[in-house]
A and B are shown apart, each in its own frame.
Chain A
Amino acid sequence: MNTQSNGYTVVYSAIMVVVVAAALTLVSQGLKSRQIANEENANRASILKSAGVQAGEDVSADFKKYVTEGFLVDANGAKSGNLDDAFKAASALASKSGKFENVDKYPVLVFNNNGEQKYIVPIDGAGLWDRIWGFVSLKNDFNTIDGVVFDHAGETPGLGAEMTNPNWSNQFNGKVMSEGGNFVGVKIYKGDASKDPKHGIDAITGSTMTSNGVEAMVNDCLKKYEGFKQSLGKTAAAAPVAAVNNNNVND
């Protein structure tokens, strides 16, 4: 058989492609459930980490212990769904393929540690090269950042990829989102961020685009929860107002 003829070459490559593609499809299908379970556990660990808990050996048990409630909220703050729905939606958003623009219900996970309550929400946005995402844990007021965990698909190692470094991302802790009812968010500064202690974040040197991407990601995504925050404020404010109704003259 002439192995140099054009016909042989074409048929040979065609068979090769089909065989390799079929084998890879088979492997990928066979391992898929395990891989998804791994990714979900990694997400659970990230969610706990954003609230300051280092997950142990059994991540899903820890997750169950701390994350007690979950729901989806729409732009007006109306709740729906359960913890499972919220976790699935959060995992989908905090990934390479997730996009906040494509959904109209945003997941909220409620973290509970001995009565200390925090809210954890996913965030996602665009870095310089590819998608960036993460989880933000907010204090009980849904206004102060308690902790963040960032991840990225393809930022430059040593520059943009430093966004995942806690030495940088810990700057977000304690930053305040809204002041006097107006959403301000975080602000990236080149140089001295300490003049703006409530919102200022020092940019990553050499990574203007990634730093701006993180700023936009945090602000854009948290803005979507403004409706929910206001509904939280109403229920919190409603109780004392009802109790001291006769003092209303001061309003």
Chain B
Amino acid sequence: MAQTKNIELIKNPLNLNNPITVQVLGICSALAVTVKLEPAIVMAISVTVVTALSNLIISLLRNTIPSRIRIIVQLMVVSFLVILVDQVLKAFMYELDKALSVYIGLIITNCIVMGRLEAFALGNKPLPALLDGIGNGLGYGLILVIVAFVRELFGSGQLMGFQIIPQGFYSIGYENCGFMLNPPMALILIGVVIWIQRSKMKELQEK
């Protein structure tokens, strides 16, 4: 029983309760970092690390946190982890850290993180909280990767910086879609993902 419940914790945020497409959280960074696949993947991993560890830490501390300052304590744990991620990226992936610029810092204000802490970690044991954090991070990352895949492929003709669309296409008149590189296109793509998801899943359709 507990086993299936734990699996649900990881699986649900990936589709039925996806933080971006169903809860519509964390849209801002999803628009900004999805021009190319590589930063999107790094962003997805960073957010997953932050949601997972902050969920775990808050869950471990949940019985000791004075309820009057619980938001401040949560914010502190989240900021601590985000600064940690930023420092590690600066040391080991400097170029990507520059590309992601302010958006790493803005993970602190990413609604997914605080939302999961308030809604889940404060009231659950460490293991389920950790899984919930991983699940939500991955759910966020999944949408980021889908959007970045489409945007890089059609916007620059590349994936992970490698040319995918063959040169022959360009010589017979194919052109990269510059619109794909603009933020509005990310919003439209997320809309399309939501549309496909809702039409497939009857549970999500509002009467």
Q: Is A182 an interface residue (CB 8 A)?
A: no
Q: Is B164 an interface residue (CB 8 A)?
A: no
Which of chain A's residues have a CB closer than 8 A to the CB of B205?
A: none
Whether A9 contacts B68 in the complex (CB less than 8 A), given A20-B76, A23-B80, comes out as yes
8 Å CB interface, B82-101 against A: 83-84, 87-88, 90-92, 94, 98
Which of chain A's residues have a CB closer than 8 A to the CB of B88?
A: 27, 31
Whether A12 contacts B66 in the complex (CB less than 8 A), given A31-B88, A31-B91, A38-B90, comes out as yes
Interface size class for chain A?
Answer: 20 to 34
In the assembled complex, the CB of A19 is this many whole angstroms from the nearest CB of chain B, namely 9
Complex: A63 Cα to B98 Cα, angstroms = 21
Task: Determine if A20 and B66 form an interchain contact, defined as CB atoms under 8 angstroms apart.
Answer: no
Q: Is B167 an interface residue (CB 8 A)?
A: no
Task: Determine if B91 and A9 form an interchain contact, defined as CB atoms under 8 angstroms apart.
Answer: no
Task: Determine if A42 and B87 form an interchain contact, defined as CB atoms under 8 angstroms apart.
Answer: no
Task: Determine if A12 and B69 form an interchain contact, defined as CB atoms under 8 angstroms apart.
Answer: yes
Which of chain A's residues have a CB closer than 8 A to the CB of B83?
A: 24
Q: Is A28 an interface residue (CB 8 A)?
A: yes
Chain B, residue nearest A12 (CB): B66
Interface of A is mostly: helix
Q: Is B73 an interface residue (CB 8 A)?
A: yes
Interface size class for chain B?
Answer: 20 to 34
Which of chain A's residues have a CB closer than 8 A to the CB of B69?
A: 9, 12-13
Task: Determine if A35 and B90 form an interchain contact, defined as CB atoms under 8 angstroms apart.
Answer: yes
In the assembled complex, the CB of B33 is this many whole angstroms from the nearest CB of chain A, namely 13
Chain A, residue nearest B93 (CB): A38
Task: Determine if B87 and A28 form an interchain contact, defined as CB atoms under 8 angstroms apart.
Answer: yes
Which of chain A's residues have a CB closer than 8 A to the CB of B84?
A: 24, 27
Q: Is A159 an interface residue (CB 8 A)?
A: no
Task: Determine if B64 and A35 form an interchain contact, defined as CB atoms under 8 angstroms apart.
Answer: no
Q: Is A4 an interface residue (CB 8 A)?
A: yes
Q: Mark A13-45, 1 if CB is under 8 A from B, else 0.
A: 100110010011001100100110011011000
Whether A12 contacts B90 in the complex (CB less than 8 A), given A23-B80, A24-B84, A27-B84, comes out as no
Task: Determine if A35 and B66 form an interchain contact, defined as CB atoms under 8 angstroms apart.
Answer: no
Query: B residues within 8 Å of A by Cβ?
Result: 63-69, 72-73, 76-77, 80, 83-84, 87-88, 90-92, 94, 98
Query: A residues within 8 Å of B by Cβ?
Result: 3-4, 8-9, 12-13, 16-17, 20, 23-24, 27-28, 31, 34-35, 38-39, 41-42
